[in-house]
Amino acid sequence: MKSGLTLGIETSCDETAAAVIKGGREILSNVVLSQIDIHQKYGGVVPEIASRHHIEAVFPVIQEALQQAQVGLDEIEVIAVTYGPGLVGSLLVGVAAAKALAFAADKPLVGVNHIEGHIYANFLTGQEIKPPLVCLTVSGGHTDLLLIPRLGEYEILGRTRDDAAGEAFDKVARVLGLPYPGGPQIERLAQGGNKEAIAFPRGLLDGESFDFSFSGLKTAALNYLNEAKQKRQEVPLADFAASFQWAIIDVLTQKLMAAAQAYGVDQVILSGGVAANKTFREHVAAEAAARGKELLYPPVHLCTDNAAMIGSAGYFRYLAGQRSDYSLNAVANLRLGDD
Ligand code: KG4
Ligand code: ZN
């Protein structure tokens, strides 16, 4: 069946998602069932609860995606599924569902790296990805700075040595008593705040390394809150949030720009949940423009986890001749370039 239709399936964390993509670029449906309200009372994702909900939701969500796209499973050309990185119990649900459908409907199966999926979200908006380029993937689990010399090839220039950028947002938001996920909450709180009010540390900014470190910033932010509490001083919340957010944005942007210059690329790409942050997008856009670089980032709803991006990445892998067999398994710590 040469329909060009991909069924994408994504269950790596707390979103059960399925999508139908045409030609790797056009979204026919994109269903995301979020478990955020379930995990919110625990202040973060509880792996066992996440996988149990994936089991309940995965087939209804797939059915909904097919229905919204008005296609039958028989019309699908290839099934693409995230097999890592992520929570192993969550990944397994999507992988098992994809294998079952591929077997039952006799369709080719392609395992997709979740991080690669985030990058391909940029393909779903008519934007043209033009390697060689430098890409920054910033999410709850990852902060990866990548050189993409050719489509499908990844060279890791730097990554976080401790917390991911999104994780730092989530942890500080949690201490502030804000619900999970913390990134959008801190962004909202930062509105109208003075980003220069509190001088938070910038990890690993000196020197040549493209690696990141956010644990020092997180500790400084938590110490600031504790001290204020001990002294019974009120925390200037907007200033605190704006300064904290800016410390992350500043480091991410400086390293991204330094990498773009060092490797002489004309295009830079943002991807992952933190790329939904408006202040971040605007700042990178200004810095990229000042250096004559083209910047791409996905629309907000395609920055956070979804299956459309998995369908896109899977389709291009399929076109490149890649196939997975029924031995496909979840790989919790899968790295780009490993597969
Ligand atoms: O890509 P994603 O949906 O899931 C992972 O693969 O991790 O990213 C989720 C992360 C969370 O840490 C969340 O706090 C962060 O992205 N995030 C944001 C924003 N929206 C989501 N961080 C900062 N500003 C935002 N607007
Ligand atoms: Zn993600």
pLDDT tens, residue by residue, 155-170:
999 999 999 999 999 9
The DSSP-derived string for 320-336 is TT--B-TT----TT--T
pLDDT attached to residue 48: 87
Minimum-distance ligand 1 atom for the alpha carbon of 170: 14
pLDDT attached to residue 253: 98
Q: Which residues pair with 112 in a beta bridge?
A: 82
CA dihedral 159, 161, 167, 171 (to 10 degrees): -160
Residue to substitute in 304, 310, 334, 336 for testing ligand 1 pocket (most ligand atoms within 8 angstroms of CB) = 304
Listed residue (187, 154, 182, 218) closest to 283, CA to CA: 187
- What tokens were used for 136? 């920054």
- Which tens digit of pLDDT belongs to each residue from 208-224? 899 999 999 999 999 99
Distance between Cα 36 and ligand 1 center (Å): 12
Distance between CA atoms of 14 and 114, rounded to whole angstroms?
A: 13
Distance between Cα 140 and ligand 2 center (Å): 7
Q: Kind of pairing, strands 143-148 and 155-159?
A: antiparallel
For the residues 289-318, what does the mean pLDDT come to? 97
Distance between Cα 118 and ligand 2 center (Å): 6
Distance between Cα 53 and ligand 2 center (Å): 18
Give the ligand at the shortest distance from the Cα of 164: 1
Distance between CA atoms of 336 and 41, rounded to whole angstroms?
A: 33
Listed residue (89, 66, 105, 32) closest to 300, CA to CA: 32
For the residues 199-208, what does the mean pLDDT come to? 88
Minimum-distance ligand 1 atom for the alpha carbon of 182: 14
Angle formed at CA 312 by CA 310 and CA 314, multiple of 5 degrees: 65
Domain coordinates of the chain in residue numbers?
Answer: 5-120+303-319, 129-299
Q: Inform me whether the pLDDT recorded for 339 exceeds 80.
A: no
Beta-strand runs (E) in 93-223: 109-113, 133-138, 143-148, 155-159
Say what angle helices 165-175 and 182-190 make with each other, to 10 degrees.
Answer: 70
CA 147 to chain centre: 17
CATH code that applies to domain 129-299: 3.30.420.40
Residue to substitute in 214, 274, 280, 305 for testing ligand 1 pocket (most ligand atoms within 8 angstroms of CB) = 274
Q: pTM of this prediction?
A: 0.94
Matching fold, domains 5-120+303-319 and 129-299:
yes
The fold of 5-120+303-319 is: Nucleotidyltransferase; domain 5 (3.30.420)
CB burial of 65-104 (b: ≥16 within 10 Å; e: otherwise) equals bbeebebeeeebbbbbbbbbbbbbbbbbbbbbbbbebbee
Q: Inform me whether the pLDDT recorded for 43 exceeds 80.
A: no
Q: Whose CA is nearest to atom 13 of ligand 1?
A: 183
For the residues 127-140, what does the mean pLDDT come to? 95
- What tokens were used for 329? 């398994």
Q: Whose CA is nearest to atom 8 of ligand 1?
A: 273
